[in-house]
Amino acid sequence: MTSHASRAVLIVAAAWLAGLQATLPAVPVDPSPAAAWNRDAVCGPPHMREFGPPRKTERTSCAPAYCVDLGAGERVCSCRTIGPGDDVSVEVLFERPPAEPIRMASDLWEMAGSDAFRVFRSDLTGDGQAETIVATLVNRGNGMGVESWRVSVIDGRHPATPASWEAQDFGVLSIFTRPASGGPCRLLAGEWIPGHDPARGEGLYFVGRWLRFLSPGPDGPGTSGSRFEPETERPVIRRRLLVDFERERLSAMDADPNRPVAWFASPAVESVGHLCHAAEDLVFGFRTVTGLLASVCRARSDEYLVYRSQAPRGVVEQFPARLEGSWGQFELSSYFRGGGVQNAGLDLTGLRFNGPHGDVEVFQDWSAASNKWLVGLTLTDRGTGKPVTLDADPSTQLGALSRLRGAPRLARVSGRAPNGAL
């Protein structure tokens, strides 16, 4: 709820929502086939091997270079150079003679030395061939000392362009895990995001999602198909930063090398969750600060689009009741202006539908000037015409409404006004 909203408006919103839920049909939630995610094991030998640590090495034009030998003439090296005007740059290269070196990253934290990167090998696809994993340190912040990393995977059969994903506190909280039932290691990638708890109020959460590495295979077209892909059968999870969690994190970060924390197995972890079914993809979803879970879902067959919501301790509701022909019952408004802060960049998207008691708009708006997202839903009572906005908890935001911009069967409204709070 917006900070300036009165208690009376909250009561109106609750009554409006109760009326909406009373008229929409209840829909059962599909049980998750991956309910055992909190029993994963952290990947280590023999399923994952770490090489290193990087050692200082003589290398032409580098001042200095640090390298990790992988055997068979292969190595990964960081190269620090000082250009005109004393500009410092650091890049990481994967060398496998006689081929040209593969540039893994060129935006490393310039203060990094031997801790600029870590190298692992693991069979991430289950085909018996180990991939090379290179994690590069992009930045280390002040205060909590949060580290931003880029995790890249080189498929030895198609090495030209690595698949990459951004993650914070890699090696401690962003880690590779393996299902207790077996199978390849998966990346649990996370980041620190402000969030909300009805009992504790505002706080900081580590929010993580599992990703699997996909390869085009031995006959695939180059590396165009190599990528990280979110595991939709597993939930996005979060854990609030409290004293015990921070103690675990700092102890693991002080270890050399950093020690992984199985934070996902803690009883304090919450599933962010969504309301899409097994045959659907999540387009966009969140939980509001009042506890309402909202999801926009798209059938994988592309036959329908559906909105579902669930109030705390309530049943799941959906719009429309009949999924046939549902695309035409939604209206998309959007506006995009690039150029960053200099051009007052905007990325605005709203999805509207006409509910039983009034209009509902799910929105996801961003401004380069404020560098923040405004996410939530607005309920406009048909009788009074008064809008009530339920703001999303930022740590529960999943997906992007912009994924619908190319949907051919969706009704559109040209342009979209920026939210005044941006």
DSSP state of 288: B
The per-residue pLDDT for range 311-359, each reduced to its tens digit, is 887 888 899 999 998 999 999 998 888 877 788 889 899 999 998 778 9
What does the buried/exposed string (b/e) look like for 147-179 if buried means 16 or more CB atoms within 10 Å of the residue's CB?
A: bbbbbbbbbebbbeebbbbebbbbbbbbbbbbb
Nearest in space to 223 (alpha carbons), one of 107, 135, 102, 118: 102
- Summarised one tens digit per residue, pLDDT across range 348-357 is 999 999 987 7
CB 281 within 8 A of CB 399: no
- State the pLDDT at residue 159: 66
The radius of gyration computed from the CA coordinates of the chain, to the nearest angstrom, equals: 24
Pairing of the two strands 331-337 and 411-414: parallel
Residue 414's pLDDT is 65
pLDDT band at 155 (very low <50, low <70, confident <90, very high): confident
Helix (H) or strand (E) holding 9: helix 7-23
pLDDT in tens, 391-416: 999 888 888 898 898 888 887 776 67
Residue 301 reports pLDDT greater than 80 = yes
- What are the domain boundaries of the chain? 7-29+275-414, 99-271
- CA 248, 253, 257, 262: dihedral to nearest 10 degrees? 30
User: In this predicted model, what pLDDT tens digit does every residue of 248-296 receive, in sequence order?
Assistant: 999 999 988 889 999 999 999 988 888 888 788 889 999 999 889 999 9
Residues 174-192, mean pLDDT to the nearest whole number: 95
Choose among 190, 89, 88, 174: nearest CA to 135: 174
pLDDT, residue 75, reads: 92
- Cα–Cα distance between 91 and 65 in angstroms, integer? 10
Residue 15 scores a pLDDT above 60: no
The type of residue at 182 is: G
Query: How many residues does the structure list for the chain?
Result: 422
CA distance linking residue 117 with residue 124, whole number of Å: 19
